[in-house]
């Protein structure tokens, strides 16, 4: 009960950043994805991108199996949740394939990299317009810094 109340307080008062579980989960994500990107960089010195994506997907399977075993094979039977989940995977893959296709054309490679790296900005627009999410001016400023960092990192 107390934990639940703490959880609600965190959502209600996002100022308490260092107590917010979503923040720390996001940091764990950044650390794991940093490792993923670094290992991808190492592997792709020899392996072409399509094969990297094939192998990477094989690598995600053990994590899923571990989670499935942890849940004793029980998954929620929410058709909408499942549809969104599967679509996430398909669209991520399609986005990746379109990126390989873009690199195969004689377009400007760095322009392609910068433009596609800015995908979170599309998420922001969609979340504001469809999910009616709102954020504070200081967070909007954070978004500008994030966009600058993303552009620099992709150069």
Partner 1 sequence: MHFPPWLWYSAITVLAWGVVGLLQKLSTNHISAESSLIWLVVGFLVLEPLLYPGSALFHYSGWNLTWALLSGVLNALGAWALFAALKSGGKASIVAPLTALYPLVVIMLVPFVLHESITRLQGVGVVCALIAVVLLSA
Q: What is the DSSP string of 26-83?
A: HHHHHHHHHHHHHHHHHHTTTS-HHHHHHHHHHHHHHHHHHHHHHTTT-----HHHHH
Q: Is 153 in the site for partner 1 (CB under 8 A)?
A: yes
Q: Is 130 in the site for partner 1 (CB under 8 A)?
A: yes
User: With contact defined as beta carbons under 8 Å apart, do 14 and 20 qualify?
Assistant: yes
The footprint of partner 1 on this chain (CB under 8 A) covers a number of residues equal to 115
Chosen residue from 1, 3, 46, 72 binding partner 1 by CB under 8 A: 46
Q: Is 11 in the site for partner 1 (CB under 8 A)?
A: yes
77 backbone dihedrals φ, ψ, rounded to 5°: -100, 60
Q: Is 69 in the site for partner 1 (CB under 8 A)?
A: no
Nearest distance, CB of residue 1 and partner 1, angstroms: 17
Chosen residue from 6, 19, 89, 110 binding partner 1 by CB under 8 A: 89
User: With contact defined as beta carbons under 8 Å apart, do 21 and 10 qualify?
Assistant: yes
Q: Is 22 in the site for partner 1 (CB under 8 A)?
A: yes
Residues 25-44 that bind partner 1 (CB under 8 A): 25-26, 28-43
Nearest distance, CB of residue 111 and partner 1, angstroms: 8
Chosen residue from 6, 19, 87, 110 binding partner 1 by CB under 8 A: 87
73 backbone dihedrals φ, ψ, rounded to 5°: 75, 5
Nearest distance, CB of residue 147 and partner 1, angstroms: 8
User: With contact defined as beta carbons under 8 Å apart, do 50 and 100 qualify?
Assistant: yes
Q: Is 149 in the site for partner 1 (CB under 8 A)?
A: yes
**How far does Cα 55 stand from its chain's mean position?**
19
């Amino acid at each position: 009960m107390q934990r639940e109340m703490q959880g609600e307080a965190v959502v209600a008062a996002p100022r308490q950043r260092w107590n917010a579980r979503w923040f720390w989960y996001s940091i764990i994500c950044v650390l794991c994805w940093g490792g993923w990107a670094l290992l991808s960089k190492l592997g792709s010195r020899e392996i072409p991108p399509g094969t990297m994506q094939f192998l990477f997907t094989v690598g995600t399977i053990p994590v899923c199996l571990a989670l499935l075993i942890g849940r004793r094979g029980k998954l929620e039977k929410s058709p909408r949740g499942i549809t969104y989940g599967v679509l996430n995977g398909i669209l991520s893959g399609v986005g990746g394939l379109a990126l390989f296709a873009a690199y195969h054309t004689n377009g400007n490679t760095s322009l392609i990299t910068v433009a596609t790296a800015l995908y979170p900005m599309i998420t922001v627009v969609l979340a504001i317009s469809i999910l009616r999410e709102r954020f504070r001016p200081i967070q909007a400023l954070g978004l500008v810094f994030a966009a600058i960092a993303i552009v620099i990192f992709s150069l």
